[in-house]
Structures are given as C-alpha cells and as structure tokens.
Amino acid sequence: MFDITQELMLDGNAAAGILHDVFSAEMTASPTECANCGKRGELGTLLAFLHGPGVVLRCPVCRSVVLRVVETPRAVYLDARGAVYLRLEKGGLSRG
Ligand SMILES: [Zn+2]
C-alpha cells in the first residue's frame, strides 16, 4: 500500500550530519535499542524523517520515535525517550 510518509522517509544515514553536529562523533554505526519493541540496531538503520522541525529517527520495526533532535539558533534539544540507550564510542573522534 502506498504510504505518503515513504516519500519523506530516508534511512538514518541521512541524519548523519546533524547527529555528528550534536555528538561531535560519527553516530550512524552506534548501537541503540528501541524502548518500545526492543529492536536493536545501529542508528544508521533507523528511519529518518528530516522534513519536520529537526530530525526524527523512528524504529524500522514498530515505527516508534527512538530519537528526536531539534536545533534552534541557541541550543540543541535531544529527545531520546524512545531509546533504551545510546552508545557513544570513546576515542572515536579521531577516526573521521
Ligand atoms: Zn521498535
């Protein structure tokens, strides 16, 4: 069935730029776990919606919002309620 949201949907790699800005690290290979259904995977495998205010990353299995990042001129808001955890690699900053 055609779903209009497919038009706006990209994979999580499309959000790599803003995630890099926020975390100062390459995040697409970082593991995370969906708080709703327990799906584990790399951030790059989440579904990214870039057309709203900020970036929304959704679980590819249950479509729950895992991570939401909104940038304002003065701050970045990170909503990670949908993630059991996020992992930030130590010493990964020099890789790229
Ligand atoms: Zn899920």
CA of 10 to the centre of ligand 1 (A): 17
pLDDT exceeds cutoff 90 at 6: no
| 8 pLDDT tier (thresholds 50, 70, 90) | low
Count CB neighbours of 92 within 10 A. Answer: 15
pTM of the predicted model as reported, rounded to 2 decimal places:
0.79
What would the pLDDT profile of 25-83 be if each residue is shown by its tens digit?
888 889 999 999 999 999 989 998 887 778 899 999 999 999 999 888 898 899 999 99
Which residues have a beta carbon within 5 Å of ligand 1, which is an ion? 34, 36-37, 39, 59, 61-62, 64
CA of 26 to the centre of ligand 1 (A): 22
CA of 32 to the centre of ligand 1 (A): 11
Question: From CA 9, how far away is CA 47, in angstroms rounded?
Answer: 6
Taken in order 6, 12, 16, 21, the sign of the CA dihedral is positive
